[in-house]
Amino acid sequence: MKKILLLCLFFVTMLTARADDGYRLWLRYELVSNPQLLANYRNAITSIYFAGTSAAIIAAKDELQMGLEGLLGRKYVLQNNLSSNQLVIGTPKSSPVVAGLSLNAQLAKAGDEGFVIVNSKKDQKNIIAIVGNTDIGVLHGVFHFLRLLQTQQNIQSLSITSAPKIKYRLLNHWDNLNRTVERGYAGYSIWNWHTLPGYIDQRYIDYARANASIGINGAVVTNVNANATILTKEYLEKVAALANVFRPYGIKIYLTARFSAPIEIGKLKTADPLNAAVKQWWKDKIDEIYKYVPDFGGFLIKANSEGQPGPQDYKRSHADGANMFAEALAPHGGIVMWRSFVYSNESPEDRLKQAYAEFKPLDSKFKNNVAIQVKNGPLDFQPREPFSPLFGAMPKTPLFMEYQLTQEYLGFSTHLVFMAPLFKEVLNADTYQKGKGSTVAKVLDGSLDGLTLSGMAGVSNIGNDINWTGHLFGQANWYTLGRLSWNYELSSAQIANEWIRQTFGNTRQLVDTVDKIMLSSREAMVNYMTPLGLHHIMGYGHHYGPAPWFDKASRADWNPVYFHKADSVGIGFDRTEKGTNYLSQYAPEVKKVYENIDTCPEEYLLWFHHVPWNHKMKSGRNLWDEMCYRYYAGVDSVRLMQKQWNSLEKLVDKQRFNQVKMLLAVQEKEAVWWRNSCLLYFQTFSKMPIPAGYEKPDQTLEYYKNLNFPFAPGNGR
Ligand code: GCW
């Protein structure tokens, strides 16, 4: 009887071990599956030497013990004397043993947050040293080392020196205080303001661990459409509690500042940034924040954009507004991230031109703890956009990159879209600011213009869903933001490979197949949503699904018809000199390529040109046929992704396998919906048939136009 019970227990444990809800993200620390490698690792690591007492080093030690226990199936005790086959972790400052390793030359390159990992010999003993100049550096090193084991790398001749290329690596949460998330598709906000500061959810700690593991060092925890309440005493106590959780992981907390807060919570009559009382109010408020959070990072501010208050309400400039905050933050070491996402309610000007028009003249007007945070493209996180012309146009001002991880325009959390290729495409784009090779990446890291502030932010896709991001593959985009901001030279393939191995395992077939799915997914989505440079043709307000016909918005530039301009002659937005001349905002070399319809890369064709339906494309097809071809190819790619995923049934645990399978089916259905409704609608202009051989749309245009989604998620109200 006892035997049977034990056997049952064994099977139950096996089963639970197999089920995986995705909560552990890429920090799963499963037993190394390759027996030879496991033996090698176990031989190489028999104990841990550790020095230091700070919360950060304790976090590093805890993570290492937990990780090794899972990966190597053994408990590791700490030793304070050196022995062979030991992992030595610490800083030269905290440990004479570490100082004695003579790693100064490498450490000089590791900076404040980086690390050195080497195989070394000390007193005839073989060791692996994970060291940093700071305890946070050690923590990053420990996470990197665990990544090496999780991805089954050789650890016999390690010689790694790593330092982040970008200084501020941030998540921007668009989370409201009532826990709704603007453009959030993974449940409610993970910040439970109601139970803070008394209750610290384990999720906050796991969130910090996950971020630290990929080098993210800051979190803006509130929505850019800001609420002044976060700045009140009651909420600052809650903010302080979160900051305390983040601190050991090297993560600073940031807030969004509502420009009109002095009126709303300060009882002033104005929020004019040049008014002495207003300035004093912010100074006092900022001093107060630092009493709660001594290492507060600063503010992210959306002003005079989409109805948010700002300095222009008082006829002041963005620089006047940003500098007011900057002055008050400077003594504490805080920064201002001022967003360039502005477009005016009144101006009929091409919306794409407005950010540049407002910000370029302000180059050199900002205090040196101000950065301008620029969305990757000139419009709004579309599936594909050219790079924003602000990159390359403000050499005296640090520009931070803003990417959107949450998939507002990329299929919400039901579509599998790996964004590294999108992010890389922008980073690699050449601005020609100082001639060939002036890439966006070089603008961003400050090297092109000798600037010291540098930053990359991702609008978070995290919610309180069990697996954090709704779609399991959304985790890969969070992962990408961290890894790329640490080292933007990593390729999309490298990032995918690392993520897959940590998230699913190292089996060759599994890694290769998921890799194919991920690397093809972004192009697939562009094809079934907005091929050839189409943009902003999604549903109104909630942005769910296609609505290229929509023309009822209160502003022209919220209407899809404004952006695609389809008519009987052709389709696309003429942004050349003959059109809005948006192209003049780029360097002449860039402009030249795009303005000529023959040299303009076809993926941007309809961004820059109004193109006749019978225009001959590179493939030999006319524009209409090419558009059909792309839309159909997009759907086909999703079907291929489904097939590829299905081939992995035996290699992925059931729970995650089924989740992804179901979501791919939703994606396929929605890809067909995008394809059919866009083609049926554009066909009313082209008057050309969908070429023979393609499956015909099974619904009418009217059917698609009548679809209605009053409760589509993400509006956040
Ligand atoms: O893309 C738009 C979103 C808004 C968002 C805005 C912004 C926070 O639809 O929901 O508001 O961008 O970036 O400020």
Read off the tokens for 659.
């989740």
Q: What percent of the chain has pLDDT over 90?
A: 93
List, in sequence order, every residue forming a beta bridge with 254; answer none if it has no partner.
220, 298
Please indicate whether residue 69 is annotated as part of the active site.
no
Please indicate whether residue 668 is annotated as part of the active site.
no
pLDDT at 19: 77
Q: Which of 36, 60, 35 is nearest to 48 (CA)?
A: 60
CA terminus-to-terminus distance, the chain: 58
Q: Which residue in the list 306, 489, 567, 577 is annotated as catalytic?
A: 306
In sequence order, which residues have a C-beta less than 8 Å from that of residue 100 and are 6 or more positions away? 122
For residue 271, give the DSSP letter.
-
Residue with tokens 């409610």: 188
- What are the Cα distances from residue 13, in Å, to 9, 16, 289? 6, 5, 48
Task: Return the best residue to mutate from 173, 175, 180, 182 for the ligand 1 pocket (most ligand atoms within 8 A of CB).
Answer: 182
Distance in angstroms (rounded) separating the CA atoms of residues 334 and 257: 13
pLDDT at 348: 77
Own/partner long-range contacts of 312-317 (Cβ < 8 Å, ≥24 apart): 313/259, 313/271, 314/270, 314/271, 314/272, 314/273, 314/274, 316/272, 316/273, 316/274, 317/362, 317/365
Whether 416 and 471 have beta carbons less than 8 Å apart is answered as yes
pLDDT at 3: 54
pLDDT at 343: 85
Read off the tokens for 546.
């296609």
Please indicate whether residue 63 is annotated as part of the active site.
no
pLDDT digits (tens, 9 = 90+) for 240-299: 999 999 999 999 999 999 999 999 999 999 999 999 999 999 999 999 999 999 999 999
Pick the residue whose CA is nearest to atom 3 on ligand 1: 183
The pairing of strands 611-612 and 570-571 is antiparallel
E strand or H helix at 404: strand 399-404
Residue 139 C-alpha to ligand 1 middle, in angstroms? Answer: 34
Whether 105 and 126 have beta carbons less than 8 Å apart is answered as no
E strand or H helix at 43: helix 35-44
Q: Which of 474, 169, 505, 108 is nearest to 337 (CA)?
A: 169
The pairing of strands 78-79 and 168-172 is unpaired
| CA torsion, ordered 236, 240, 246, 250, to nearest 10 deg | 100
Task: Return the best residue to mutate from 380, 385, 538 for the ligand 1 pocket (most ligand atoms within 8 A of CB).
Answer: 380
Distance in angstroms (rounded) separating the CA atoms of residues 459 and 306: 17
Residue 411 C-alpha to ligand 1 middle, in angstroms? Answer: 16
For residue 165, give the DSSP letter.
S
In three-state secondary structure terms, 488 is coil
In sequence order, which residues have a C-beta less than 8 Å from that of residue 655 and are 6 or more positions away? 19, 20, 21
Residue 561 C-alpha to ligand 1 middle, in angstroms? Answer: 20
Helices 492-503 and 420-428 pack at an angle, to 10 degrees, of 160
Give the amino acid at 553. A
- Separate counts of helices (H) and strands (E) for the chain: 23, 16
Domains and CATH numbers, the chain: 20-162 (3.30.379.10), 168-503 (3.20.20.80), 527-573+610-705 (3.90.1330.10)
pLDDT at 13: 42
Task: Return the best residue to mutate from 172, 180, 183 for the ligand 1 pocket (most ligand atoms within 8 A of CB).
Answer: 183
The residue count for the chain: 717
CA triple 363-366-368, angle to 5 deg: 115
In three-state secondary structure terms, 253 is strand
Residues in the ligand 1 pocket, defined by CB under 6 Å: 174, 182-183, 224-225, 302, 306, 341, 380-381, 408
Read off the tokens for 68.
């090794």
CA-based max dimension of the chain? 87
Residue 356 C-alpha to ligand 1 middle, in angstroms? Answer: 18
Distance in angstroms (rounded) separating the CA atoms of residues 69 and 443: 43
pLDDT at 17: 41
Q: Which regions in the chain score pLDDT beneath 50? A: 6-17, 717
Distance in angstroms (rounded) separating the CA atoms of residues 133 and 551: 58
Q: Sign of torsion, CA 654 472 428 208?
A: negative
Whether 27 and 147 have beta carbons less than 8 Å apart is answered as no
Give the amino acid at 196. L
Read off the tokens for 364.
């050199």
